[in-house]
Amino acid sequence: MRRCLKREEASIFLINWQRHRQIQIQSCHYISHPPRSPSPSNSSSNAPHLVRDYISRNEIKLARHVFDKIPNPSIVLWNMMIRAYAWAGPFQQSIHLYLQMLHLGLTPTKFTFPFVLKACSALQALQLGRLIHNHAHLLGLSMDVYVSTALLDMYAKCGNLFEAQTLFNTMSHVDRDIVAWNAMIAAFSFHALHAETMQLLSQMLQDGISPNSSTFVSVLPTIGQANALRQGKAIHSHCLRRKFFCDNVVLATALLDMYAKCNHLSYARKIFNTVNKKNEICCTAMIAGYVLHHCMPDALALYHDMLCIYNLNPTPATLATVLRACAQLTDLKRGKNLHCHIIKSGIHLDTTVGNSLISMYAKCGIMDDAAGFLDEMTSKDPVSYSAIISGCVQNGYAEKALLIFRQMQSLGIEPHLETMIALLPACSHLAALQHGKSCHGYAVVRGFSNDTSICNAIIDMYSKCGKITISREIFDRMQNRDIISWNTMIIGYGIHGLCVEALSLFHELMASGSKPDDVTFIAVLSACSHSGLVTEGKYWFSSMSRDFNIKPRMAHYICMVDLLARAGNLDEAYTFIQRMPFVPDVRVWGALLAACRTHKNIEMGEQVSKKIQLLGPEGTGNFVLMSNIYSSVGRWNDAAHIRSIQRHHGYKKSPGCSWVEISGVIHAFIGGHQYHPQSASINNKLQELLVGMKKLGYRADSSFALHDVEEEEKEQILLYHSEKIAIAFGILHNSPSDRILVTKNLRICADCHSAIKFITLLTKREITVRDVSRFHHFKNGMCNCQDFW
């Protein structure tokens, strides 16, 4: 919330502050015994007039040049110089001159303090402000109405609402003028304390002080944030009655911003249209309103008008807003054009604009440009890192996201809530429990753990890392659950094959008075599918449109086909697809094809495969499935034919990849590859396991080997499936009591599924495999999926 000092300002301030402390010691004497004001010895000279003249023309540098030449400038002139810097900056100069005044033994007047305090506010220099407060007190000026109002404003702007309030309470009712009230109201509104702001406003009215347009400009933002439309409308009509509007662009901007935030975009636009002299801020507020309501074409059209019709130059805030629109539209071309414009105009140094550029490139999937741009940025903040981390996660570079997070920590940049929300899905995706746990710990330490979004992300992380009971503990402790919390938990139960728990939580959700949404039904249907609960699945599928008025989407149909086909009702699934109200996509057919393989139904497999080929290049992975269907019944020629079609079309099978986390490090393995530095010991372990497994009765499942090869060779090909390599590595490095968690990018194959059962018997270990669709918890030669996946 608090605006921060820019780095260079801070360092200058620090230097000044150290200098000031020395001067302070020397000047104490003068403060307690104010010397007489020096006589205006140079009044005859022309120089003071020149200083005034330059200041009035805003030529501060020239004014200072002349001022420095005057031997004994009058206090009035000192005050004028201090004021000039306090208005136009550099603010440090105001403070510097003030300290110089003290050093020379001059006594500040009640006109000095308001300006030097204003400079303190601009620099967020609370400590220095307190010191100056003390000076005013020693001079008996702190109760002066000008000084006390300035002090109040300084405390408020520096974020110390308590001291501001204390000072305000000590002020007499006569002294509490409109300026003092406005300072208090602005402070509370700035800190988004809506109730307190409104209370102050009503107290002000009770005190008989009539609010002016500045009061409302301060109050309106907090009304917008609190979505308090009625209060906003009341202020609007009050402004109309008091005719505050006549070309008050600042008030109009505050009003349109309030309406946009209160979901009344058309009102906002009406107000925008009434403004005669539109400025950059007014246009940007309106564009931001459009972006907030996802009306991107309107946002871009207004940006065009801003440049071409109103002849205004975009500010950094405008550009950041328009870049957000480009990101939402994944309009890379326009985004790049804007980037060029930004470089040409030199605005690219602004951190906000830089962050929006990162987001834009990330949303458009151009991660290299996003990362390159981050490296180039001179000032990075937590928002920059949140943008790049969430970009990495969205584009499937979860490991890179963790890497960047580590880089961020090593640079000493404190992550925001948004950073953690962006990072947790990376841990979920990689099943990186150690990283996930430390994210959770961090969220607790930073006091984020009451935030609903972060809790949802943590629940998802634990569930995807195989710790569903911890997920439930967090879910139960949550203070404010939203529908995403419920959905995440139900999905978690589903992928762990805990259908009873999933359905019971679903009933709890309905009993709690919350309404399930379309995602809830995807969660419920896939939970039924993972456990083969056909009747329940059918019931909820028809119930969702009948009782909850939710129209099934493609995802719901995929779940249903999956549910019917896996349970062996292939014909029913086929008819179900044909009766769909829209054209089924490749995923719907893919679900059926997978079941054709499990149930060895060649005829339907061929039929479905043809349908998929007609749908074009989307069906990549399905060639593999069909080829496996043929090889499962020994039709090797047909299997080879399918593979050759696949090659002919240039489709590549995505390689099977599994990974396992050992002491916080993710080790990834690709099927058949032996790139890992420890591949020799992994090989030995695998061969040793094979011998043991065969003694217990393991036979390699030939239907998943590529060609009609010798039995022994099949065994060896299958032995180097990525999940087996990862498990061997886990056995080598995990303590025997620890469960091994392996994550796979595809579905687990039937041979690995059966082999892992034998491995749990052989090694007396628990092994969990998270494949692309669910968890398989292996223990004592069994899997909790009951071979249903």
Site for Zn ion, rule CB under 5 A: 721, 749, 752, 776, 783, 785
Q: How far is the CB of 752 from Zn ion (least distance, A)?
A: 3
Q: How far is the CB of 789 from Zn ion (least distance, A)?
A: 5
Q: Kindly tell me which of 440 and 776 has the beta carbon lying closer to Zn ion.
A: 776
Q: Kindly tell me which of 534 and 752 has the beta carbon lying closer to Zn ion.
A: 752
Query: Distances in Å between the alpha carbon of 305 and those of 299, 324, 561, 752, 773?
Result: 10, 18, 50, 62, 49
Q: How far is the CB of 684 from Zn ion (least distance, A)?
A: 20
Q: Kindly tell me which of 714 and 776 has the beta carbon lying closer to Zn ion.
A: 776
- Token duo for residue 595: 């079941």
Q: Kindly tell me which of 26 and 786 has the beta carbon lying closer to Zn ion.
A: 786
What distance in Å separates the CA atoms of residue 392 and residue 338, rounded to the nearest whole number? Answer: 22
- What's the distance, CA 657 to chain centroid? 29
Q: How far is the CB of 680 from Zn ion (least distance, A)?
A: 22
DSSP state of 220: H
- Token duo for residue 380: 């990075």
- What's the distance, CA 225 to chain centroid? 19
User: Nearest-5° angle of CA 61, CA 63, CA 64?
Assistant: 65
Lookup result for tokens 């020994």: 634
Q: Kindly tell me which of 484 and 783 has the beta carbon lying closer to Zn ion.
A: 783
Q: Kindly tell me which of 132 and 749 has the beta carbon lying closer to Zn ion.
A: 749
Q: What is the 3-state secondary structure (H, E, C) of 560-601?
A: HHHHHHHCCCHHHHHHHHHCCCCCCCHHHHHHHHHHHHHCCC
Q: Kindly tell me which of 611 and 776 has the beta carbon lying closer to Zn ion.
A: 776
Q: Residues near 533 by Cβ (< 8 Å), separated by ≥ 6?
A: 499, 527, 563
Q: How far is the CB of 755 from Zn ion (least distance, A)?
A: 8
What distance in Å separates the CA atoms of residue 730 and residue 667, rounded to the nearest whole number? Answer: 10
The sign one gets for the Cα dihedral 77, 81, 82, 84 is positive
Give, rounded to a whole angstrom, the gap between the first and last alpha carbons of the chain.
Answer: 49
Q: Kindly tell me which of 96 and 721 has the beta carbon lying closer to Zn ion.
A: 721
Q: How far is the CB of 373 from Zn ion (least distance, A)?
A: 41
Count of C-beta atoms within a 10 Å radius of residue 514: 15
Q: Residues near 746 by Cβ (< 8 Å), separated by ≥ 6?
A: 621, 654, 656, 657, 771, 772
Q: How far is the CB of 284 from Zn ion (least distance, A)?
A: 55
Q: How far is the CB of 521 from Zn ion (least distance, A)?
A: 25
What distance in Å separates the CA atoms of residue 595 and residue 534, rounded to the nearest whole number? Answer: 15
Residue 659's H or E segment, with its range, is strand 657-662
* Phi, psi of 349, rounded to the nearest 5 degrees: -75, -20
Q: Kindly tell me which of 484 and 533 has the beta carbon lying closer to Zn ion.
A: 533
**Given the DSSP bridges, would you call strands 767-770 and 740-744 parallel, antiparallel or unpaired?**
parallel
Burial class (CB in 10 A: 0-12, 13-18, 19+), 313: exposed
Q: How far is the CB of 706 from Zn ion (least distance, A)?
A: 12
Q: Kindly tell me which of 527 and 783 has the beta carbon lying closer to Zn ion.
A: 783
Q: Kindly tell me which of 643 and 774 has the beta carbon lying closer to Zn ion.
A: 774
**Given the DSSP bridges, would you call strands 775-779 and 740-744 parallel, antiparallel or unpaired?**
unpaired
